[in-house]
């Protein structure tokens, strides 16, 4: 909620107007350094202050505190302690009043022009939960015809939310809304990872900030128009929780594929510094991919060996094979030309199927669909291991030899990307076969 209050100037003793944001989700209250300097307020005990923001990300900044009184338009004060920050909150875009809302406000003896809801506001003060209930009144709220709710505060009426009955929520979320939400989270993670962002050499990766607020890293395929991958991947900070969520999402969507296959999918849209080390570290936390090779399973192994390789068992096996004219033909161990190749493919399929299904029993149609999806994932695995020194914008996959440019999954949300079907094999040969 945005309200207008007043603070006494430390020198002139005049009341200066300030915009305040009332946010019960904040644990502390803040004032911007610029506002404190403008009002000549005395800042006490400056020291590093660490705050925990979105996704558990921590940011440290030098901050002091100010004991000050906040006045309403009637001159009634509320004493608070505010900590200094370079910015109290992001710019707030507030809705305008409808004509029927103005009529309802006037009938309730409320001046519409006194409400801070007809302009975009940069909050100078953030009042958190420590003073929230000191300034918010418990009187009944006012619901306007448009559904806007006005709360009573020490500083006057303030718009807090829309009444649920008046809100027209869409039945479905569109792809554009999902893209907008993803971009918003990425821009927020830039703000929280400001220190890590400053430590990166953005010129070395040809990074630039676009008009939509994203940092992109164009590659040499910037002038192509294929929808298969992004010509300007979006930069993600390696140590931010949002990056871990995105990496884990691509890992799970591709049926818990390995490090190199996950990197191949991520590089279609994102650029992550030290991507191999980052992805490998994140995938270690995947519960479905964990293995337990402890010594507790040695007893089961010994028991099976005693049962299978016991003299009586071997004799029964040989008699069974002889009676049915079965002859054993052994292949060379680890030889792909004698069956090792398809045996490994069967193992990859079984591993992906086990992680996707676990102990569930699926109908036939779902099994057929899952088998097709696993086939697409296996055909999308990179042929060679990923190297951090490799700057190739595309990673060669088995499917490129069969159906180049085929889309095995849903297309990426970013459509600003390249067509390299005529050069992929040549690039791969020059950079790999040396």
Inter-residue contact 145 to 106 (CB < 8 Å): no
Q: Is 66 helix (H, G, I), strand (E, B) or coil?
A: strand
Question: Is the confidence at residue 307, as pLDDT, over 80?
Answer: no
Side by side, which strands form the sheet with 208-209? 208-209, 215-216, 234-235, 270-271
Question: Is the confidence at residue 421, as pLDDT, over 50?
Answer: no
Higher-pLDDT residue of 150 and 65 is 65
Query: Across residues 116-123, what is the average pLDDT?
Result: 70
Provide the pLDDT for residue 429: 53
Nearest Cα neighbor of 9 from 85, 81, 68, 89 is: 68
Provide the pLDDT for residue 277: 92
Model confidence pLDDT, tens digit, residues 144-196: 777 778 888 888 888 766 555 555 555 567 788 888 899 999 999 999 998 99
Model confidence pLDDT, tens digit, residues 220-233: 666 655 555 567 88
Query: For residue 8, what are the CA distances in angstroms to 128, 152, 312?
Result: 21, 23, 97
Inter-residue contact 257 to 264 (CB < 8 Å): no
Inter-residue contact 234 to 216 (CB < 8 Å): yes
116-125, 282-291, 295-304: range with lowest mean pLDDT: 295-304
Residue count (the chain): 434
Query: For residue 414, what are the CA distances in angstroms to 78, 92, 232, 313?
Result: 50, 28, 9, 60
Provide the pLDDT for residue 415: 43
Largest CA distance in the chain: 109
Higher-pLDDT residue of 419 and 36 is 36
Provide the pLDDT for residue 406: 67
DSSP of 151-214: EEETTEEEEEEE-GGG----SS--HHHHHHHHHHHHHHHHHHTHHHHHHS-TTTTT-EE-TTS-
Provide the pLDDT for residue 229: 57
Model confidence pLDDT, tens digit, residues 334-368: 777 777 777 888 888 988 888 888 888 888 898 99
Model confidence pLDDT, tens digit, residues 250-269: 999 888 888 988 998 898 88
Higher-pLDDT residue of 311 and 214 is 214
Task: Indicate the pLDDT class of residue 101, thresholds 50, 70 and 90.
Answer: confident
Provide the pLDDT for residue 91: 78
Domains along the chain with CATH numbers: 2-166 (2.40.70), 174-290+333-434 (no CATH)
Task: Indicate the pLDDT class of residue 72, thresholds 50, 70 and 90.
Answer: confident
Query: For residue 209, what are the CA distances in angstroms to 241, 276, 353?
Result: 21, 24, 41
> What is d(CA 434, CA 388) in angstroms, rounded to the nearest whole number?
17
DSSP state of 287: S
> What is d(CA 422, CA 314) in angstroms, rounded to the nearest whole number?
57
DSSP of 310-321: SHHHHHHHHHHH
Query: Across residues 105-113, what is the average pLDDT?
Result: 78
Higher-pLDDT residue of 288 and 249 is 249
């Amino acid at each position: 909620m945005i309200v207008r209050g007043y603070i006494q100037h430390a020198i002139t003793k005049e009341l200066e107007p300030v915009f305040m944001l009332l946010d019960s989700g904040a644990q502390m209250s803040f004032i911007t350094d610029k506002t404190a300097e403008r009002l000549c307020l005395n800042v006490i005990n400056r020291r590093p202050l660490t705050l925990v923001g979105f996704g558990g990300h921590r940011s440290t900044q030098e901050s002091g505190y100010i004991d000050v009184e906040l006045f309403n338009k009637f001159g009634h004060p509320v004493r608070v302690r505010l900590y200094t920050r370079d910015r109290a909150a992001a710019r707030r875009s507030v809705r305008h009043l409808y004509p029927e809302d103005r009529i309802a406000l006037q009938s309730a003896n409320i001046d519409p022009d006194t409400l801070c809801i007809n302009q975009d506001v940069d909050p100078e003060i953030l009042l958190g939960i420590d003073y929230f209930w000191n300034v918010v009144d418990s009187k009944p709220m006012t619901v306007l015809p448009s559904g806007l709710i006005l709360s009573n505060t020490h500083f006057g009426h303030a718009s807090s939310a829309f009444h649920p009955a008046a809100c027209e929520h869409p039945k479905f979320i569109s792809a554009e809304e999902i893209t907008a939400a993803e971009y918003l989270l990425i821009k927020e993670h830039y703000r929280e990872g400001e220190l890590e962002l400053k430590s990166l050499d953005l010129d070395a990766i040809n990074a630039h900030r676009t008009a939509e607020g994203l940092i992109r890293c164009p590659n040499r395929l910037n002038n192509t128009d294929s929808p298969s991958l992004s010509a300007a991947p979006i930069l993600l900070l390696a140590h931010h929780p949002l990056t871990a969520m995105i990496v884990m999402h691509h890992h799970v969507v591709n049926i818990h594929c390995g490090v190199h296959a996950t990197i191949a999918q991520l590089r279609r849209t994102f650029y992550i510094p030290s991507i191999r080390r980052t992805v490998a570290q994140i995938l270690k936390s995947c519960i479905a991919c964990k293995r337990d090779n402890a010594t507790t399973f040695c007893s089961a192994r010994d028991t099976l060996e005693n049962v299978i390789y016991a003299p009586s068992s071997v004799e029964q096996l040989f008699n069974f094979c002889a009676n049915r004219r079965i002859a054993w033909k052994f292949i060379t161990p680890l030889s792909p030309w004698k069956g090792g190749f398809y045996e490994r493919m069967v193992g990859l399929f079984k591993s992906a199927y086990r992680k996707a299904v676990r102990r569930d029993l699926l109908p036939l149609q779902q099994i057929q669909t899952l088998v097709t999806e696993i086939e697409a994932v296996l055909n999308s695995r990179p042929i060679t291991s990923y190297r951090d020194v490799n700057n190739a914008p595309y990673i060669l996959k088995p499917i490129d030899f069969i159906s180049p440019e085929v889309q095995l999954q849903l297309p990426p949300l970013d459509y600003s990307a390249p067509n390299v079907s005529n050069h992929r094999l040549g690039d791969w040969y020059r950079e790999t076969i040396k």
